[in-house]
Amino acid sequence: MQKIKSWRVEIICVLLLLLCIFFGTKISPSISDVKLIQKDSESAESLPISEEVGDNQNFQVSMHYSPGIFSKAIWKITPDDCLNKIKVGTQIFYTDTIPGHCNYVNGFSISSADFLREKQEEETDLTFFLKNNGGPGGISIALQSASVFFFGYLTITFFIFGVLLFCLLHRFKIPTPFAFAIVIATLLHGIYALNTPHTVRAHDVEGHVNYIKYVAEELKIPADNDCWTCYQPPVYYTAMAPIWTIANFSHIDSTKAIQWASVILSFLLMTFGFVCFRSFLTGKILWAATLLWLFCPIGFLIAPRIGNDQFFFAAHALTLMGVMLYANNKSSKFLLLAAISCWISFWSKSTGSVTVAIWCIGFVVGYVTRDSWKMKKSEYAAIIIMLFLFAGMILRLFFGKEIVGNAESLHSGLAISAAPINLLVFDVLDFLKTTYTSAWNDEGGRQFFINYMAKTSLFGEFTLTRTPFGIWCATLLNLSAFVLAIYAFVGFWKHKFSKATLILTAQGILFFAAMAFLRIKIPYACSSDFRYVMPMLLSFIPFVSMGIFKENSSTKWKNLGVAMTIIFCASSVLLMLSL
């Protein structure tokens, strides 16, 4: 009972948060009774829908719409492939003149007042008339209330969520100023997620959604060819399946629920990364590294993404944190924690092979440098877990599992050169002059491995915005990142090697080598994008802060580094919240 009382603030916050979520489901616009209607069949479905539909075939999706208390809503509709009209009760609303009605990537947004008209405050039945131009057919719909009262509801919910996170961080002895910074960064990620549909700035997302949906509905792991991403390891998808099921049962947008699970993973990733830094950095050096880590633009981009990347990042960061604490003569239980998270990491994404190597390096560094070589029970347990993992890796190789299971199906437009000059040259002018990069054209440096890796570490392979304000923010990010890279080189060159920097350097080299290997083996732009860069920031950022505050440096040198850090973080936040 005493232990329960000690957690009473957190328990109250959880209960209030659940109450807010329940209240939100009752007052917000909602969709239910979704059905897919084809020529000779009708089946109950859940949004988003992505099913096998004949090429050039017309089909319909019907549903029941409830406006809730906050009847004014923005509909984000993504048809696959074309939405021609919507039947509202007995009235027809034609959409074939709306830009985006045939855009299966970004879709279009429309106010409930524009097509529901006098029925926007009534419960009504809707039927969407679509045409499939090839491949799977379906539709994705996200509702967002436009009421000022709903904004107040969100503000209260975010405040309770922030208090809960702060209490948890404080309980695990994260210093108050840093805990506050982590909470602010998480809430900013949440605001970005709130305004980012799951199909925006995402690739192959429907494959990931279908994988989760299959596990949730069929209660089994699909075969590799059952969906585009079904070759992926299953841990992430089995972990998300219960969230999908609960969301559907509660009439909550299932894809939005998975996005919020990704925001929680983002919080864990930022926390684990901070603990890694705190294990060997102090003072101003720790503050500079923490701010760069918490407010980097790529952190915003991955926060709401549906896919196994975020799950892998969090598990990898936990493994890195565990081995760094173990190597710094902390409890051997951290090695056991790292072994468990290493297992999760590998069975979440094939890139987890690097995580396994980091665990081995951390174990060796921590074990051989300590005074006594007598093994403890937790170390034996960690080694046993890793032996089972090694056996699984061998079996995976034995059964011929490819690193990228759909490599043979990649579009020829993504093909790039893997010549030595493309791998070794860094085009500085192109990096500074071109704002964004793309996996589909050479502008922005996709042909040059280092250029593409550096640019996607900031913006992914997306053109985020072309507004003047957005271009200014992105340009400042490019410039400040380039200057900070110089500080990182100086910091690496001048710093005194320690067990922590040895592990981080090994991690950076391994991820760089893994990306170079993929670039050569599978010469497509998507083989070296930001999904593989994110963990490298844990190796790169500490050297930036050490370079800024290196010994015997001038005041001007430090002030410039601090100014670049502030510009980088501020530009990142302003750019992401403007999208």
Is the pLDDT confidence value at 561 over 80?
A: yes
Please name the residue ranges forming H helices in 435-495.
449-459, 468-494
Q: What are residue 76's DSSP bridge partners?
A: 109, 142
What CA–CA distance (Å, rounded) separates 268 from 140? Answer: 29
Question: Running DSSP on this structure, what letter comes out for residue 63?
Answer: E
The crossing angle, in degrees rounded to 10, of helices 254-278 and 176-194 is 150
Percentage of the chain exceeding pLDDT 90: 39
pLDDT of 412 above 70: no
Report the alpha-carbon distance of residue 432 to residue 455 in Å, rounded: 10
Whether 443 shows a pLDDT value over 80: the answer reads: no
Three-state DSSP at 189 gives helix
Structure tokens at 172: 């695990």
DSSP state of 535: G
Mean pLDDT across the chain, nearest whole number?
86
Of 194-203, 252-261, 411-420, 503-512, give the lowest mean pLDDT range: 411-420
- Residue 568 exposure: Cα atoms within 13 Å on the Cβ side: 29
Determine which of 29-38, 50-59, 141-150, 383-392 has the lowest per-residue pLDDT on average: 141-150
pLDDT at 474: 92
pTM over 0.75: yes
Q: Confidence class of residue 141 from pLDDT cuts 50, 70 and 90?
A: confident
Distance CA 111, CA 113 (A): 5
Question: What per-residue confidence (pLDDT) applies to 219?
Answer: 87
> Residues of 145-169 as b/e, b for ≥16 C-beta within 10 angstroms?
bebeebeebbeebbebbbbbbbbbb
The per-residue pLDDT for 438 is 78
Structure tokens at 574: 């302003």
pLDDT at 523 over 70: yes
Check residue 341 and give its pLDDT: 95
What does the pLDDT look like over 71-119, one tens digit per residue?
A: 677 888 888 878 888 888 788 888 888 888 888 777 888 887 777 766 6
pLDDT, tens only, 255-280: 889 999 999 999 999 999 999 999 99
Predicted local confidence at residue 453, as pLDDT: 85
